[in-house]
Amino acid sequence: METLPLDLLALLFAVGLAGGFVDSIAGGGGLLSVPALMATGLNPVQVLATNKAQAVFGSFTATLNYARKGHVRLADMKLAIAFTFIGSAVGTILVQVLDADLMTQIIPFLLIGAAAYFLFGPRIGDIDRHHLIETTPFYLIFGLSLGFYDGFFGPGTGSFWALAFVALLGFNMLKATAHTKVVNFTSNFASLLFFAFAGHVVWSYALVMAVGQLIGARLGSSLAMTHGTKLIRPLLVVVSLAMTTKVMWDDPDNVIHRLLIDLF
């Protein structure tokens, strides 16, 4: 492992800590970790691979914390884990050979929709409600699709999972967040396996960030269990809108980006 400068070590640790904290509550830790890794000069595939490597530690820590406190039963998530693993593996393989430009055109609209759903539904996610779909087709559809999306592109995966759990399975916000961490860990782990096999992970960076992830995820998940919907819902809205802004800013050809430029 290469010797890293002290200032870079501190930066990577801090980013991992902040990313793990935010990700364990509302997702969106990649908003911090991806730009930080890009700034180190890694190529895009190395950035994606190294980001998955460090994120695995945070999503595992949050999953374990939620499971120990009884907010998710891992035995009930077997189908979710299986379908998400498959979807993520396929997405990870394809992102190494295909272009993700189409994703950058569509995702801002989906993220805005997710933010609006959580923002304007005052009672949404406070308590469990009746489910609109059975768990088997739910995990088949969303495990494969969101697993693929997380392996192929990634931004907003946590928000999309939380939205699906609340809107279709009727979960309260804390329960949705806990279940989201299980599938997040699954897609991160599957993606990491294929990136690592192809030799794209920069382990010296990933392991430093992983230490921060472990601490941040433990703190964030504990805070979410203490404050519940009052903390999770506004953070989901903020993260969704922040990710929308970042995706549009990074892609000048995006429809919304061009519209705003024309207006102002």
Q: How far apart are CA 208 and CA 134, in angstroms?
A: 41
Read off the pLDDT band of 260 (50, 70, 90).
Answer: very low
**Residue 250's pLDDT is what?**
62
Rounded to an integer, the average pLDDT of 236-258 is 61
Instruction: Tell me the CB-side half-sphere exposure of residue 187, using CA atoms within 13 A.
Output: 32
**Residue 132's pLDDT is what?**
81
- pTM > 0.75: yes or no: yes
% of the chain exceeding 70 in pLDDT: 74
**Residue 135's pLDDT is what?**
92
* Cβ within 8 Å of residue 75, ≥6 positions away: none
Pick from 28, 13, 50, 26: nearest CA to 214: 13
pLDDT one-digit tens code per residue, 86-109: 999 999 998 877 665 655 565 566
Q: Is the pLDDT of residue 124 over 80?
A: no
pLDDT one-digit tens code per residue, 53-69: 999 999 999 999 999 99
Q: Is the pLDDT of residue 121 over 60?
A: no
Tokens of 20: 């793990």
Q: Which residue has the higher pLDDT, 161 or 32?
A: 161
pLDDT one-digit tens code per residue, 17-48: 998 998 888 777 877 888 888 888 888 888 88
Cα distances (Å, whole numbers) of residue 17 to 24, 26, 218, 234, 240: 11, 15, 10, 20, 20
Q: Is the dihedral of CA 257, 95, 164, 241 positive or negative?
A: negative
Phi–psi pair at 203, nearest 5 degrees: -65, -30
Rounded to an integer, the average pLDDT of 143-159 is 86
* Cβ within 8 Å of residue 42, ≥6 positions away: 50, 202, 205
- Per DSSP, helices labelled H in the chain are 6-26, 30-39, 44-68, 78-95, 101-120, 135-152, 157-168, 173-197, 203-227, 229-250, 255-263
Q: Is the pLDDT of residue 253 over 60?
A: no
